[in-house]
A and B are shown apart, each in its own frame.
Chain A
Amino acid sequence: ETGVTQTPRHLVMGMTNKKSLKCEQHLGHNAMYWYKQSAKKPLELMFVYNFKEQTENNSVPSRFSPECPNSSHLFLHLHTLQPEDSALYLCASSQGPQDTQYFGPGTRLTVL
């Protein structure tokens, strides 16, 4: 099994929809991350969780709501998104917040 998996790989949603992105890591790590990757922009860190506790919220709009029920799973709940939220959303995990991060394949999100 691969280290970090993300589902779905592609998602198209309307501005009024509610959807969730899922990330699962099989590496025994304690820290998990959500990043947003938009065209021609650096990766933007959105949220950091360590031992299920949120340690970073990088001024992300409330229409993005993370959830970390345990150290292996991370969700990103989406509601009333805007077209500019269309991007590749990447999940990563690391042993601890200071350790090397390993990335999943990402979810390509398109908001219509």
Chain B
Amino acid sequence: AQSVTQPDIHITVSEGASLELRCNYSYGATPYLFWYVQSPGQGLQLLLKYFSGDTLVQGIKGFEAEFKRSQSSFNLRKPSVHWSDAAEYFCAVGPSRQISNFGNEKLTFGTGTRLTIIP
């Protein structure tokens, strides 16, 4: 069964500092990987996704993530955070098209990492 681990429940960084949010997954084949962000009282917004190809993926709002198959990781990074980046961040894994069967597709989410920005 697929699973996602986000080991950091809460991270606090200073505005302007760099950020890395960790995500490790367990999956038997090549997965689809996603990062979503959720602001308070809001739904989830897609930041970026990895399906195949270049393992360094660029997303919106200046975020990027790197897929490392050997480490089963898909960490999210941003070189300089802004106060507006304060939110909850979710990593998710889904089955790739090649092996997915109709009706069995599921996104599995991590428990999230809450990001606090201090001035």
Q: Contacts A56-B103, A97-B102, A98-B97 given: A103-B44 contact, CB under 8 Å?
A: yes
Of the four ranges (under 10, 10 to 19, 20 to 34, 35 or more), the interface on chain B belongs to: 20 to 34
With the chains together, A85 CA to B43 CA distance in Å?
A: 18
Chain A: interface residue total (CB-CB under 8 A): 23
Q: Is A61 an interface residue (CB 8 A)?
A: no
Interface pair B111/A41, CB less than 8 Å apart:
yes
- Chain A, residue nearest B34 (CB): A100
Interface residues of A in 82-98 (CB under 8 A from B): 90, 92, 97-98
Q: Is A71 an interface residue (CB 8 A)?
A: no
Interface pair B45/A103, CB less than 8 Å apart:
yes
Residues of B whose CB lies within 8 Å of any CB of A are: 4, 32, 34, 36, 41-46, 49, 90, 94-95, 97, 100, 102-112
Residues of A whose CB lies within 8 Å of any CB of B are: 4, 6, 40-43, 45, 48, 50, 55-56, 90, 92, 97-98, 100-106, 108
